[in-house]
Amino acid sequence: MDIPKENFSEWYNSVIKDAELCDLRYNLKGFVVIMPNAADVISRMYRLYEDALERRGHRKSYFPALISEKNLEAEKDHVEGFAPEVFWVTRAGKNELEEKMIMRPTSETAMYPMYSLWINGKTDLPLRLYQSGPVWRYETKATKPFIRGREFYWIEAHDVFATEEDALAQVREDMETTEEMIHQSFGIPFIFFRRPQWDKFAGSVNTYAADTLLPDGRALQLPSTHMLGNNFAKVFDVKYMDDEGKEEFCWQTCYGPSISRIFAALVSTHGDSRGMVLPFHLANLQVVIVPILKKGNEEKVLSHARGLEEALSQVFRTALDSGDDTPGFKFNKWELRGAAVRVEVGERDIESGKAVVVRRDTGEKAGVPFDELARRIVAIGEEMNISLRKRADAWFSGMGKEADTLEELRKAIENGGGFVKVPFCTDSREGEPCAEKVKEACAANIRGSKYGKEEIPEGKKCIACGKEARIYQYASRQY
């Protein structure tokens, strides 16, 4: 029941259409309509993620979607990085606006001028706020629903501290939050890379990004956390008074999980040739009841099925499919949409006192006594979550490769992709031409070095320039 890897793109496009996840016919290029079958799962992911942030001391806020041109332009690297992809608002009604505005592509320049007003003394720190909602970026690359679009839904957390040490601790905490949510809760494996200096978030000191792999072996960036140092604090005057009465610039971090993109990874990681498979706690339908009707027994079977629906609805998101379609048609439909457990009930089942229970991920069938259904389904849900994560982990860990030459790298990339470890000269700005060379030769991008595991290559040469290698980098094709 695997996804054919060569046909991943085709599989993805047909699932998002057939399972009614989004509609591509909206008449603005790069914008899609997210339909209820996806929006319900996305809302559930949002709630879990927001809870995880709040448990760690963040509070929610809502900042305006529009940002003044003046704010955007304050931080030199930031404006350089984002200006090419912002949407501008230049008119209102019949008036040309005196001060142009941008639709937020990210909210540093909306939030930090306010932080400057709110933070005075040490007692105002740490300040940890997040907001949830859409951002807009004028993507010029090919767009793909949920993966890359001109509008996406995310959470952005923006934190402020008195010391560099506290800010670095926040970066590590963001990584823990990522592990808890993306891996433990959603079952999606990833590696945290420290991005090379030429590929970090515009205006940051360092960027640490969690990359997963889609079934075709190409990397997809999931949440990233950024050490901002006091780059933005200096520009927006985010300061506090220390114990001696001296003004000090604050240290800042920001963290951005894109929930709509994580949804794409969720669908891709767990799906199979029949369609969507979702972890039990995220599935729109945890239980779908399909009555097996024959002429003459309809009333009896349906009334039994309604009783089951009422009982199971107390515990699970449950639906009874009592429509006129054949059972086989209904099975396919609900498998495509990722209903976690199917309960079949016909006349013979009623007589034997057992329903047929079918688990979505493995297709396993079992006869379960009616009065044990709820208990058994709870257990199946737990088993499903663990086994989906383990299956994804097993595949992911087999996608790590190594190469010492461009030719080896090209072969590894063409033969299933994955993350290929390569010796490299440097991840400072001077290394960028080498990354360009790798891209030209192998259509692969340098994603960075593995966080927390700094291996030093010994006696190896940079894969691109042939100088002494000082660091290992990981290369992959990317979305």
Piece in contact with Zn ion (CB under 5 A), picked from 41-49, 152-160, 226-234, 426-434: 426-434
Give the residue carrying structure tokens 């360092």: 206
Taking the complex as a whole, the smallest distance from the CB of residue 121 to Zn ion amounts, in Å, to 48
Least CB distance to Zn ion at residue 446 (A): 10
**Cis peptide before 126, with omega less than 30 degrees from 0?**
yes
Residues that bind Zn ion (rule: CB under 5 A) add up to a total of 5
Asked if residues 225 and 174 have their Cβ atoms less than 8 Å apart, the reply is: yes
* Residue with smaller CB distance to Zn ion, 398 or 433: 433
Three-state SS sequence of 73-142: CCCHHHHHHHHHHCCEEEEECCEEEEEEEEECCCCHHHHHHHHHHHCCEHHHCCEEEEEEEEEECCCCCC
Told to check if 434 binds Zn ion by CB under 5 A, we report yes
Residue 144: DSSP 8-state: B
Structural tokens at position 144 = 């793909």
CA atoms of 158 and 106, how far apart (whole Å):
11
Residue 465 lies near Zn ion (rule: CB under 5 A): yes
Q: Which is nearer to Zn ion, 413 or 434 (CB)?
A: 434
Decide whether 103 or 446 has the Cβ nearer to Zn ion: 446
Taking the least distance from each CB to Zn ion, the nearer of 124 and 404 is 404
Give the residue with the Cβ less far from Zn ion, 386 or 456: 456
Query: To the nearest whole angstrom, how small is the minimum distance from the Cβ of residue 463 to Zn ion?
Result: 7
Provide, rounded to whole angstroms, the least separation between the CB of residue 329 and Zn ion: 58
Q: Binding to Zn ion by residue 425, rule CB under 5 A?
A: yes
Residue 471 binds Zn ion, judged by CB under 5 A:
no
At closest approach, how far in Å is the CB of 461 from Zn ion?
8
215-234 residues near Zn ion, rule: CB under 5 A: none
- Strand bridging mode 354-359 / 365-369: antiparallel
Burial degree of 310 (CB within 10 A; 0-12, 13-18, 19+): exposed
Q: Is 478 helix (H, G, I), strand (E, B) or coil?
A: strand
Residue 475 binding Zn ion, by CB under 5 A:
no
Q: What's the min distance (Å) between Cβ of 430 and Zn ion? A: 8
Q: Which stretch binds Zn ion (CB under 5 A): 66-74, 270-278, 424-432, 453-461?
A: 424-432
Per-residue contact flags (x/-) with Zn ion for residues 151 to 190, judged by CB under 5 A: ----------------------------------------
Question: What tokens appear for 192 in the block?
Answer: 């945290």
Name the one residue in this structure whose structure tokens are 């990833």: 190
**Residue 260 and residue 39: Cα distance in Å, rounded?**
9
Nearest approach, Cβ of 80 to Zn ion (angstroms)? Answer: 24
Tokens of 448: 């960075």
Question: Which is closer to Zn ion, CB of 175 or CB of 434?
Answer: 434
Stretch that binds Zn ion, among 140-148, 232-240, 386-394, 430-438 (CB under 5 A): 430-438
Residue 292 is a binding residue for Zn ion (CB under 5 A): no
Nearest-angstrom CA–CA distance, 376 and 108: 48
Q: Is 464 in the site for Zn ion (CB under 5 A)?
A: yes
Least distance to Zn ion from the beta carbon of 462, Å? 3
For Zn ion, give the closer residue by CB, 247 or 436.
436
Which DSSP helix (H) or strand (E) runs through 442? Answer: helix 432-442
Please, what is the minimum distance in Å from the beta carbon of residue 436 to Zn ion?
10
358 vs 464 by CB, closer to Zn ion: 464
CB nearer to Zn ion: give 302 or 465.
465
Amino acid at 467: K
Whichever of 224 and 426 has its CB closer to Zn ion, that residue is 426
Min. distance of Cβ 448 from Zn ion in angstroms? 15
Interaction of residue 462 with Zn ion, rule CB under 5 A:
yes
Residue 390 class from Cβ within 10 Å (0-12 exposed, 13-18 middle, 19+ buried)? Answer: exposed
Q: Which is nearer to Zn ion, 18 or 408 (CB)?
A: 408
| Shortest Cβ 443–Zn ion spacing (Å) | 18
Strand residue runs (E) in 276-389: 287-292, 318-320, 341-346, 354-359, 365-369
| Beta strand extents in 195-326 (DSSP E only) | 206-213, 219-229, 239-241, 247-249, 251-256, 287-292, 318-320
Binding stretches for Zn ion (CB under 5 A): 425, 434, 462, 464-465
